[in-house]
Chain A
């Protein structure tokens, strides 16, 4: 029994009316192209805005943890700081490195940014508010987001710089290993949900998010997901690919201007992406917090728009990841791989069995 959310119709009717309007005013082919263009534009804007906001948020959060004020000069509370920085990066010279592989050097930032861009398409922001709703959504997201490593490897390889190369190799080993854990921890929930489609996964969490429904194995899976996804996005304490105290800036040492900005933006978008996936899979995505039976409470919760729920949960996970970064020292490469192959992976495999058993016995909520 699905309760009706007051915002559901709003989103659906908005998209529907645009759709109808387009199809009534032009030929179906042109209407489709226009629709694609609109979606592309909206996502591009969204991407840029989220990137800018996250950079600002990270600087403020890190400042808060380090007893500093953070950006406070451009605009009130420095809110326009990242925009100013972005303009600065746009105007900077694109340094071309001698003896570098020019094509790959230029290509690398685009691969990284396209990989993260593609994955955003599958994320549901509210009921019906997603670009595409695959029935193998999770598989798609895992597949697409791991393309980024190609960009990192190419960037390190083509820079003709040993620091970059070391950083890229580290990153390659790291992302490929941790991809496994991310996938497996998501698989645990897929067993519980019985589907890989994002919309159905969210719908399945109407009366209790999966982290509560699946109790012990779900919590373990969530923790593993947090660790592994932090590692997969190359963020501290797993920022070995950049490791500025060892490798100056790792794989993007030689990049400048807008190409550097691409790497920078992609890092934050990847963080946003894994946080969204985490929020969607474990914390119910845009689904408000409901308790089965408490009708009044559920109704109050429904008044908060689903996109806010989604952004709030994503923001919470992003905050956690920032918290990690600004408090933990960095791991060493062998410790990083040991953590994955000797601890996370066996725990994960066992956890999947446990979840399968619990689902089989019907011991979940």
Chain B
């Protein structure tokens, strides 16, 4: 018989009480449970409880071949599916020292940036909803739909594409791909103005987010808060700049940095990153070279014995894959260092002594994706 599960609760002092935010709660964006200790409306401390969708992905990887693992990584941070795939592909390619065709690099970079845009769109949509601006949600999803349509044409899937394979791509891009992407950029450059009008320029929004959830650069580094959340604290942590992969050393783009370290700064980083992503795509979309869409790969991929580490910049930050191979077709040990996991760890620290409403805003600004935490 199963015992009663005693989950330790935060220390409760005089006049403190705790509430469970989640696992079913609209603003945890999934099945995350926060045990929040409150004094009135003021958050005294909180303890995250994860694992509601822990699938043992690292254990599963030990039984799967590398091409199979790619399909698992989609399900990790489902909003940066392409980028997660990219990490595994790069890991295998770098281990086997395979040079992928230029065309593949172009397509992968474009896909990754589309992925970043749609992830930020969904984040913007849900962040607006967290703060009570319900219309934002529909604006964000409306525009995200266009990217999903583009992906559907090429990859056959809207959400979990598994489009990259070690050495290249599953298949070539759709003939209309370039035309549609260009049309989307043109469309979205207009629509992103709406985003700024409805949320960025709104005085209620700026008052809600300014000076809320302050995180210094040192704290960001110590807690390993990467991605837009870390860059909002002025930490230059963009893997695309520091450890470039694909075509990121060839294209021109800025690493967005804000130094305030509050919720508004994290918001602004993501907004500006959408512009940068569009800028990257514009540089590449007309110049995709002709050629193969995949390098020649052996039927069974075996990595030489050794240890490998691959970092990519997902929409949420520094995604790392640490792989120990013993020379077999399955990895001996595969560890995913996911950005949301580290980003979550700072939530308790930066939301103390603020109100519940601020906790929701901070949680939204960290852009947590729960399967990315639980893996």
Q: Is B135 interfacial (CB 8 A cutoff)?
A: yes
User: Which of the residues A68, A245, A328 comes within 8 Å of B26, measured between beta carbons?
Assistant: A245
Instruction: Tell which of A67, A248, A329 touches B208, judged by Cβ atoms closer than 8 Å.
Output: A329
B138/A329 in contact, CB under 8 A: no
B204 touches A246 (CB 8 A): no
Cβ-defined contact, B355 with A244, below 8 A: no
Report the separation of the CA atoms of residues A147 and B323 in the bound assembly, to the nearest whole angstrom. 65
Determine the chain A residues whose CB is within 8 A of the CB of B129 once the complex forms. Answer: 245
Instruction: Report whether A328 and B208 are in contact in the complex, using a CB–CB cutoff of 8 Å.
Output: no
Residues of B contacting A239 in the complex (Cβ-Cβ under 8 angstroms): 132
Q: Chain A, 343-362, contact with B by CB distance < 8 Å: what is the 0/1 string? A: 00000000000000000000
Q: Do A67 and B202 touch (CB < 8 A)?
A: no
With A329-B132, A329-B202 as known contacts, state yes or no: A244 contacts B356, CB within 8 Å: no
CB pair B19–A163 under 8 Å, yes or no, is: yes
B138 and A327 form a contact (CB under 8 A)? no
Q: How far is the CB of A230 from chain B (nearest CB, A)?
A: 13
Residues of B in contact with A, size category? 20 to 34
Task: Report the nearest B residue to A242, measured CB to CB.
Answer: B132
The docked-state distance in angstroms from the alpha carbon of A185 to that of B204 is 23
Q: Is the CB of A335 within 8 A of B26?
A: no
**Chain A interface bracket (under 10, 10 to 19, 20 to 34, 35 or more):** 20 to 34
- Cross-interface CB contact of A162 among B17, B138, B198, cutoff 8 Å: B17
Residues of B contacting A: mostly: helix
A-contact bits for B130-164, CB 8 A (1 contact / 0 none): 11111101110010000000000000000000000
Which of B285-307 touch A at CB < 8 Å? none
A243: Cβ under 8 A from any B Cβ: yes
Complex contacts, B128 vs chain A, CB 8 Å: 329
Chain B CB count within 10 A is highest, among A332, A333, A335, for A332
The distance in angstroms between the C-alpha atoms of A331 and B207, with both chains bound, is 9
Please state if B205 and A329 are interface contacts (CB–CB under 8 Å). yes
* CA distance in complex: A335, B361 (Å): 15
The residue of chain B having its C-beta at the shortest distance from the C-beta of A163 within the complex is B19
Q: Are A327 and B198 in contact (CB under 8 A)?
A: yes
A166 proximal to B (CB < 8 A): yes
The reply to whether B138 and A328 contact each other, CB–CB distance below 8 Å, is no
A236 CA to B134 CA, complexed, in Å: 10
B355 touches A332 (CB 8 A): yes
B19, A66: Cβ atoms closer than 8 Å: no
CB distance from A365 to the nearest CB of B (A): 33
In angstroms, how far is the closest chain A Cβ from the Cβ of B176?
Answer: 24
Known contacts: A329-B131, A330-B131, A335-B208. The answer to whether A243 contacts B357 by CB under 8 A is yes
8 extra interface residue pairs, beta carbon distance < 8 Å, beyond A68-B138, A246-B357, A329-B205 = A67-B139, A166-B356, A245-B131, A246-B360, A328-B132, A329-B133, A329-B199, A335-B204
Residues of chain A having any CB pair with chain B under 8 Å? 62, 65-68, 162-163, 166, 170, 236-237, 239-240, 243-248, 326-335
Q: List 29 interface pairs A-B (beta carbons < 8 Å), by A numbering.
A: A62-B134, A66-B135, A66-B138, A66-B139, A67-B138, A67-B139, A67-B142, A162-B19, A236-B132, A237-B132, A237-B204, A240-B357, A243-B357, A246-B27, A246-B357, A248-B26, A328-B133, A329-B128, A329-B202, A329-B208, A330-B132, A330-B208, A331-B204, A332-B358, A333-B41, A333-B357, A334-B355, A335-B204, A335-B207
